[in-house]
Amino acid sequence: MDLYNPSEEITYKVSLEKIVGQEMFQLENLTPQMDISHIFIDKTDVNRPSLQIAGYFDVFNNNRIQILGEGENDYISKHYKDGGAGQIEKIFQKRIPALIYTKDLKPTDEIIALGKKYDTPIFVTPLRTSILIASLVHFLQQELAPRITAHGVLMDVFGEGVLITGESGIGKSETAISLIKDGHRLVSDDSVEIKKVDDVLYGQAPELTRYFIELRGVGILDVKTMFGVESVKDRKIVSLVVHLEEWDRTKEYDRLGMEDRYIKILGVDVPYYDVPVSPGRNEAIIIESAAINHRQKNMGYNAARELYNKVLKSLDKPGDEDNDR
């Protein structure tokens, strides 16, 4: 079973109640008596029904939240004597999840009554339309993002999000503690919730176990109180995976790092390192080195390639290196 790339398509939903509850949207409910607990959104887009106000219904994304701004309201006041009630009713007839007015442009009582008739909640916000749309889409993308729970430790090492994976008991948590002692930050121990938004993987800890770490033989530790707030981070982009495994003599490990290896998580390629563990190897330093090397590669410097080029050059001009001095 491929745990990083679930085969079954899951459609995530977010309740309208949760959206309304977000303070950043500053939504005032104009139909407070209505029960909205059964309304869920599963689309990350929102819609401005400008064309529908003008009468065009051939294409209409009725399953999205509808937002009316200044432009639509101005059009309504200039083109419809009834304050737009007739047009809005046609939109309500298409069964939309909710209607939001921006810039404090409250609808007429007639429209509110229509909302009640069609069981469609109406909200108003003081925000500008573009601001509301941007923040609402961002919120919906987070809430509806494909996600998995990975078994591993997520650390912020020199600004790189390193997901440390490996069998139970291989020493992931022990490595994490060493890294924390060296000034790096813990995001999550043992279980990491990873969400994909715009092909970027965001990792965070499950609410219940946030900033706790389990150290075999010692028990549960609270990293935040033990090492302070500087030792934890709530969310981090997963930028590389380091897989710890027992040293297998028959297996070939990367000795040069010329070619990049990747692992797919939720369909996104993430650089991947297989690191053999054996007594005397300091995993924390290996992970630090991997993180710095990854940073350096991102900045355009590949140590293995530089060495390779150097070797090639020395082959071209034998003896040159000695004459340089």
Query: Applying CB under 8 A, does 9 fall inside the site for another protein?
Result: no
172 assigned to active site: yes
Q: Which long-range contacts (CB under 8 A, 24 or more apart) does 253-259 make?
A: 256/304, 256/307, 256/308, 257/293, 257/302, 257/303, 257/304, 258/302, 258/304, 258/305, 258/308
Q: Per rule CB under 8 A, is residue 207 in the interface with another protein?
A: yes
Left if phi > 0, otherwise alpha if psi is -120 to 50, otherwise beta: which for 268? beta
- Select from 7, 10, 81, 316 the one that contacts another protein (CB under 8 A): 10
Write down the catalytic residue from 38, 78, 81, 255: 255
One DSSP character per residue, 132-170 reads HHHHHHHHHHHHT--EEEESSEEEEETTEEEEEE-STTS
Judged by CB under 8 A, the residue of 138, 147, 224, 235 near another protein is 147
Report the nearest approach of another protein to the CB of residue 223 (Å).
12
191 binds another protein per the rule CB under 8 A:
yes
Instruction: Quote the least distance from Cβ 38 to another protein, whole Å.
Output: 19
Q: CB-wise, 31 or 209, nearer to another protein?
A: 209
Could you give the CA distance from residue 265 to residue 128 in angstroms, rounded to a whole number? 37
**Residue with smaller CB distance to another protein, 220 or 258:** 220
CA distance 134 to 68: 14
Task: Identify the DSSP state of 256.
Answer: S
Residue 212 binding another protein, by CB under 8 A: yes
Nearer to another protein, 1 or 312 (CB): 1
Active-site choice (103, 151, 243, 295): 151
Interstrand relation of 147-150 and 160-165 (parallel, antiparallel or unpaired) = unpaired
190 is catalytic: yes
Which residues contact another protein by CB under 8 A? Answer: 1, 3, 6, 10, 12, 147-149, 151, 168-169, 189-191, 205-209, 212-214
Q: Catalytic residue positions?
A: 151, 172, 190, 255
